[in-house]
Structure 1
Amino acid sequence: MNQELYRQFEMTRGFFLRSISKITPDLVDIQPQGYNNTIHWHIGHVLTVTEQFLFGKSFALPGNYVELFGNGSKPADWQGDVPSIEELIPQLEEQLLRIKEIPEEVLEQKLEKPFIGLETFRELANMSLFHESNHLGQLHSMELLLERTQH
């Protein structure tokens, strides 16, 4: 993958992983009033949507992740085996390694079908970075709120 784009992924994912490591475990599954999801959900969502955006047909995560963490999902609907934060963290780390292996020439490929106005894989990769950064902000917001109201 393009070195500049990879550095962006490395930096963004690094911030995301460091933020997760600082959150006390008792807060990850609390859904604050006014929020649709939990910190746990945001972590799984970033992993799952990044996988969908960047690996699509070669999706390498368990099949139930889309149901648990995909767009429109919420913890209130969770059933069955839900991976813990401790399971999601190494998957986030491993995913970053796979992102680095995406060949440069793939970035310029046109998408089979434009997605929200994006036409190339590079544009989709940049959208993935934006998406992760957005959820990092949500994660910080929820953590601050929960720390002030739960302790």
Structure 2
Amino acid sequence: MEPLHLIKAFSQVRRYQLAQIDGISAEMQTYIPKGFRNHLHWQMGHVIAETDNLLLKTTGERQLPTSFQYFFANGTSPNEWTGEPPTWKELTELLLSQCNQVRDAIGSEKSDSAYKLEPHLYHEWLHAGIINTMVKLL
């Protein structure tokens, strides 16, 4: 897939994720459905944290505080949190702003950086599906 198509696909999945969570009450943002280990708040933070990992691999720099990894890295759970995670509002803003960060990091040229985004898109869509399922269960 060409870099511009990858960037467009990344923006599309992020818009889809935001549409899925639009109007979710504060109570439902942190409700963990039966059979799940995490809630919507964690799901949103997780895709942001994983995109920050992608940006680190691409640019050599993290865009977010390392606390994001504590709260949202693979294998973590809100049941283990101590401290306050980023707010829902912060997460929704980051979902959008990371689209620009990814675009700037990847660029429009054919490069190794652009192709790092392709497997990341599978991860984004996987969590979009989980978010969709969780919203239906709420």
List runs of 5+ in structure 1 lacking aligned partners.
110-120, 147-151
Q: Provide the C-alpha distance between the structure 2 equivalents of 1:2 and 1:134, rounded to a whole number of angstroms.
A: 21
User: Are the equivalent residues in 1 in contact too, given 2:10–2:121 (CA < 8 A)?
Assistant: yes
What is the aligned partner in structure 2 of residue 8 from structure 1?
9
Moved >3 Å (runs of 4+): none
Q: Which amino acid aligns with 2:104?
A: E
Asked whether 1:131 is paired with 2:123, we answer yes
What is the aligned partner in structure 1 of residue 68 from structure 2?
65
What is the aligned partner in structure 2 of residue 36 from structure 1?
37
Q: How many pairs align? A: 134
Q: Provide the C-alpha distance between the structure 2 equivalents of 1:126 and 1:24, rounded to a whole number of angstroms.
A: 33
TM-score, normalised on structure 2?
Answer: 0.88
SS at match of 2:86: coil
What is the aligned partner in structure 1 of residue 21 from structure 2?
20
Q: Provide the C-alpha distance between the structure 2 equivalents of 1:3 and 1:104, rounded to a whole number of angstroms.
A: 6
Identity among equivalent positions (%) equals: 28
TM-score, normalised on structure 1?
Answer: 0.81
What is the aligned partner in structure 2 of residue 116 from structure 1?
none
Q: Which amino acid aligns with 1:25?
A: A
Per-residue deviation, residues 123-149 of structure 1 (Å, max 9, x unmatched):
431111111111011011111112xxx
Task: Choose between structure 1 and 2 for higher RCO, CA contacts under 8 A separated by at least 6 residues.
Answer: 2
Q: Comparing both structures, which one devotes a greater share of its residues to strand?
A: 1
User: Are the equivalent residues in 2 in contact too, given 1:54–1:125 (CA < 8 A)?
Assistant: no
Q: Provide the C-alpha distance between the structure 1 equivalents of 2:121 and 2:47, rounded to a whole number of angstroms.
A: 10
